[in-house]
Structure 1
Amino acid sequence: MGSLLAPFMGLAVGFVLALTGAGGAIVAVPLLVFGLQLTLAQAAPVGLLAVAVAAALGAFLGLRARVLRYRAAGVMAVAGLVTSPAGLWLGQRLPNGPLTALFAVVLAVVAVRTLRNANRELRGEAVSRPAAPPCRLDPNEGRLHWNAACARALLLAGAVAGFLSGLLGVGGGFVLVPTLLAFTDLPMKAVVATTMGVLALVSAGGVFNASLAGQVQWAVALPFAAGAVAGLLAGRVFAGRLSGPRLQQGFAILSLLIAAGMLAQAGWKAGLVPL
């Protein structure tokens, strides 16, 4: 039954990813937990495979459009690939209840930040960015000027995203996008494309490590990933008409409801919340 439902769930994840940006893939794991009754440790590698495949497609499109900054993506991806196995190791050893609660908290934080940004955009407030970020783009060469502060910020963001990808099965776009906005002057298209490149590499590394440990349920993972790619392609057709702050608000509210449901589920299984 799970393999029959998986492509439709993947389709929904890919569609949300196309409409909401790199952070939209965070809904993959909750769908698998609620829809297929997987534990979070079982759902994490499946979600990562979908993120890896869908993000690779997004990164390819960004590279073709010459907006993906591959050096910055490479630096963050290397850091993420180093820390991802530690997250995977910890995720397979933590009890499902605390791990689910942790995921719910991360999802709630992402949702609140998305809601604030959408509300700010609806009020006509511009996104606040530093006037002189440490990573600055040379308009003539089309390359970032590197320095110690720039390298530290990107390495730390990549390391955190990699650890969370292994631990929770999330891509980490909600870490990478704010970092690139805060520490670079890249336009939003370049930020999203570069993030996609990092997600593709780090998530693929996480899937590889999980497969070596025999922790990937391929009968669910492959159709789920195929559905995610189809959803991403379909979502790109509608992205121009459906995306915007109202959609971001809806995504944030849905994410908060999912986070509340996951917390309630974790509390019920722990005996803290009555049935």
Structure 2
Amino acid sequence: MGIGVLLGLLVGAVLGLTGAGGGILAVPALVFGLDMSMPRAVPIALIAVGMGAALGAIYGLRRGTVRYKAALLMAATGGLGSPLGVAMAYRLPADWLSVLFAGIMVWVGYRTFRQSLATSYQADHLEPAKACRISSNTGRFVWTARTALTLGSIGIISGICTGMLGVGGGFIIVPALARYTELRMQSIVPTSLTVIALVSAFTVASFLVRGFAVSPLEASFIGAVVGGMAIGQYFVKHLPTVMLQRGFASVCILVACLLLVRSLM
């Protein structure tokens, strides 16, 4: 049970520090650390990451940094997509899921590392107009059909990935919000955590309907993720963003290589 707690603390800490990385590390942690199959690891990862994300969402709501209307829209469309992802997870061979998951991890690691290389020179240049704009008067989204369609699309894609791979969806939501909205990271991370918590709840319900149950070992991992989330939230203010991004990118690529080797063997 000790290894489960240790892995859970690590996954929760990453989730708290990045708002996007816990889910993508939870499944490999369960597969390698607790010797689970992919179909078994997916719902456990979702429960753990969903509960950890809920804690982060509560912090964000208390600080007033969660864009709750956008989060509810993305969660609603994500809830529609998650049962499709669950159905795909039950139909695809476990090795295929592992290879697909590894490919996504490499992509996430590459994108995160590129983000860390961004210079102040690039940041000073004008960017094209975002699809989802923020009102200069109210500080809230200017709701248009384009805004709703963009946020709804982000939600449904993250929902499908959540159901199929148990990754929570933050690795899609965080970069998508950064690219298509004028939100700052102070709002993007807690808004992402809110969506992860809600979509994970929808998806876990789909697994429970199929008769899924949690063992004591798995429960200890879930509890540790929630504790690690609190630790990550505490330290996130004291660590440089570039260091967090590059460390997370390196871990993603390393774990992806291990998953590929395991599935090919």
**Alignment-mate amino acid for residue 47 of structure 2:** L
Aligned counterpart, 1:175: 172
Q: Which of residues 138, 142, 145 in structure 2 aligns to 1:145?
A: 142
- Report the counterpart of residue 162 of structure 1 in structure 2: 159
Shift of 1:182: 2.0
Q: CA deviation at 1:173?
A: 0.8
Does 2:14 correspond to 1:16? yes
Measured in 2, the distance between the counterparts of 1:73 and 1:98 equals 31
Deviation at 1:127, TM superposition (A): 8.7
Which whole-Å deviations, capped at 9, do the CAs of 1:97-146 have from their partners, x for residues lacking one?
1111111001111011011111225x764298845323222243332111
Taking structure 2 as the reference length, what is the TM-score of the superposition?
A: 0.93
Deviation at 1:186, TM superposition (A): 1.2
Question: Is contact 1:78-1:158 (8 Å) kept?
Answer: yes
- Distance (Å, rounded) in 2 between the aligned partners of 1:150 and 1:70: 14
Q: Distance in 2 between matches of 1:116 and 1:247?
A: 13
- Range 126-135 or range 174-183, more displaced: 126-135
Q: 1:253 to 1:141 in 2, by over 3 A?
A: same
Indicate the SS of the match to 2:141.
Answer: strand
Measured in 2, the distance between the counterparts of 1:241 and 1:140 equals 31
* 1:30, distance to aligned residue in structure 2 (A): 0.3
> What is the rounded CA distance, in whole Å, between the counterparts of 1:220 and 1:71 in structure 2?
37
- The 5-angstrom pairing of residues 1-275 of structure 1 reads 3-121=1-119, 125-126=122-123, 130-268=127-265
Evaluate the alpha carbon distance shift between residue 21 and residue 124 of structure 1 in structure 2; reply closer, same or farther with a 3 A threshold.
Answer: farther
Identical counterparts, % of pairs: 40
Question: In the comparison of the two structures, how many residue pairs are matched?
Answer: 265
- Name stretches of at least 5 consecutive residues in structure 2 with no aligned partner: none
